[in-house]
């Protein structure tokens, strides 16, 4: 109940927009960020996604692999994954992703999106039960799962990231993509990403 109230409060606030890349700007890549692609890539895409969002699952299941093979693996795009949890299942899923090693995080993340209907459930206890089954299949122990899900500092860090994104770019929906500082709201297919990326590269 406490977590629900916190998330509801976060999304009820109205923030002013500051698009300048200050020292604390969300455009700056942080140590805790999960990033794939070359740090020298000319284009940086920051994705804000909710693990319970069906449109986010659609992007991860149907577009991300093409984006990765065409632009990320070829050194044109650096891709940054950021959490924007809307509800308890999304928050729990995001916390799990912070508690696995980076070298397996991409696979875990995509697995959770593919299995989204299995664990994103209104009943919080059922969500935890089904989420643990997935994490356990990758080797996570029950005590590790419980410790991760009970980490208040991690929870607060995730919610602070939501507030920063709202404050600076007025992000209200997922997925949202910031491409070289420009916000694109809503899911995009590979054709749309090609247009955005090719336009930048041609400048």
C-alpha 201/C-alpha 56 separation (Å) is: 26
Q: Could you give phi then psi for residue 94, rounded to 5 degrees?
A: -65, -40
pLDDT by 10-residue block (mean), the chain, 203 residues: 47 40 81 95 98 98 98 98 96 97 94 97 96 94 97 96 95 96 97 98 93
State the Cα angle at 195 between 194 and 198, rounded to 5°. Answer: 75
Q: Domains in the chain and their CATH numbers?
A: 2-12+34-201 (3.40.30.10)
| Residues 187 and 58: beta-carbon distance below 8 Å | yes
- Helix, coil or strand: residue 139: coil
Measured distance between the N- and C-terminal CA atoms of the chain, rounded to whole angstroms: 50
Please count the CA atoms within 13 angstroms of the CA of 35 that sit on its side-chain side.
19
Rg of the chain (C-alpha set): 17
What token pair was written down for 201? 């590269």
pLDDT of residue 22: 58
pLDDT of residue 24: 81
pLDDT of residue 23: 65
């Amino acid at each position: 109940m406490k977590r629900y109230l916190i998330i509801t409060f976060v999304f009820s606030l109205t923030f002013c927009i500051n698009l300048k890349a200050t020292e604390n700007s969300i455009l700056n890549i942080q140590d805790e960020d999960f990033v794939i692609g070359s740090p020298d890539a000319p284009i940086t895409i920051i994705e804000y996604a909710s693990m319970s969002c069906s449109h986010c699952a659609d992007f991860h299941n149907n577009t991300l692999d093409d984006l990765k093979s065409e632009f990320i693996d070829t050194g044109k795009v650096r891709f940054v994954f950021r959490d924007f949890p809307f509800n308890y299942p999304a928050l729990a899923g995001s916390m799990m992703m912070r508690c696995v090693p980076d070298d397996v995080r991409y696979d875990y993340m995509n697995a959770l999106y593919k299995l989204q209907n299995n664990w994103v459930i209104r009943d919080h206890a059922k969500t935890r039960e089904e989420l643990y089954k997935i994490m356990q299949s990758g080797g996570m122990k029950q005590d590790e799962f419980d410790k991760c899900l009970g980490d208040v500092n991690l929870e607060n860090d995730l919610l602070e990231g939501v507030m920063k994104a709202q404050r600076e770019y007025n992000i209200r929906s997922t997925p949202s993509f910031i491409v070289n500082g420009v916000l694109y709201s809503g899911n995009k297919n590979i054709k749309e990403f090609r247009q955005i990326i090719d336009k930048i590269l041609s400048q």
